[in-house]
Amino acid sequence: MTRKILILNGPNLNLLGTREPEVYGTATLDDIVAGLVITAGERAELRHVQSNNEGELIEAIHQARDTSDGIVFNPGAFTHTSIALRDAVSGVEIPVVETHLSNVHAREEFRHTSYLTAVCVGVVAGFGANSYTLALEALLAHLDG
Ligand code: CA2
């Protein structure tokens, strides 16, 4: 069965590959999404949304309720601030995998808290671009039961 998966990226992730390669790697977001399409193969049809706007991310999550089987979500810095995104994730009944390029727990203390983790099926962090691949595999396995 071909699953429909939303790849959702939050603020500043459009800058990937242009700055801070020591923290976030050299791959651009387009590179990451292209790799995910290969990983998904026939198993999943991917849709990608990146927004720097919290409201647009909330709208994308709401829309996914009717159009997607699950979400790979890197909320960026909103991870550590947004009760509104948490409420959006807990309000949709599809599984969401919280995904981070960096190991947020090895960084500044303010990155150790996530408002999202408790309402996600799981978290992948610290593996650079490969975090997305691992998150997609975990989401597809979760959907397959
Ligand atoms: O590690 C991650 O994936 C993060 O979600 C990335 C966020 C950060 O605020 C989270 O704590 C962890 C930041 C994304 C900013 O990405 C940039 C990429 C290149 C240049 C500048 C920013």
12 Cα: distance to centroid of ligand 1 (angstroms): 7
Q: Is the CB of 23 under 6 A from ligand 1?
A: no
User: In whole angstroms, what separates CA 33 from the centre of its chain?
Assistant: 11
Structure tokens belonging to residue 55 = 């409201």
How far is residue 89's CA from residue 94's CA, in Å, rounded to a whole number? Answer: 8
Question: What is the whole-number distance in angstroms between the Cα of residue 145 and the centre of ligand 1?
Answer: 31
Beta strand 70-74 with 122-125: parallel, antiparallel or unpaired?
unpaired
Residues classed as catalytic:
24, 100
| CB 20 less than 6 A from any atom of ligand 1 | yes
Q: Quick one: pLDDT band at residue 114, thresholds 50, 70, 90?
A: very high
The reported pLDDT for the residue numbered 19 is: 86
Share of the chain above pLDDT 90, in %: 93
pLDDT for the residue numbered 1: 86
Q: What is the number of H-type helices and E-type strands within the chain?
A: 5, 5
- 69/135 Cα distance (integer angstroms): 14
Ligand 1 centroid to residue 13 C-alpha, Å = 6
- Distance separating alpha carbons of residues 63 and 131, to the nearest angstrom: 24
The chain-wide mean pLDDT, for the chain, equals 97
pTM for this model (two decimals): 0.98
| Chain Cα centroid distance, residue 102 | 13
The H or E element that residue 64 is part of is helix 54-67
Residue 8: phi and psi, rounded to 5, are -120, 125
pLDDT digits (tens, 9 = 90+) for 18-39: 888 888 989 999 999 999 999 9
Strand partners, 4: 45
Question: What is the per-residue pLDDT for 131?
Answer: 98
Mutational test site, ligand 1, from 7, 8, 9, 13, max ligand atoms within 8 Å of CB: 13
CA within 13 Å, CB half, 137: 9
Q: pLDDT (tens digit, 9 = 90+) per residue, 55-94? A: 999 999 999 999 999 999 999 999 999 999 999 999 999 9
Q: Which of 63, 131, 75, 72 is CA-nearest to residue 96?
A: 72
Q: Has residue 40 got a pLDDT over 90?
A: yes
| Torsions phi, psi for 122 (to 5 deg) | -175, 175
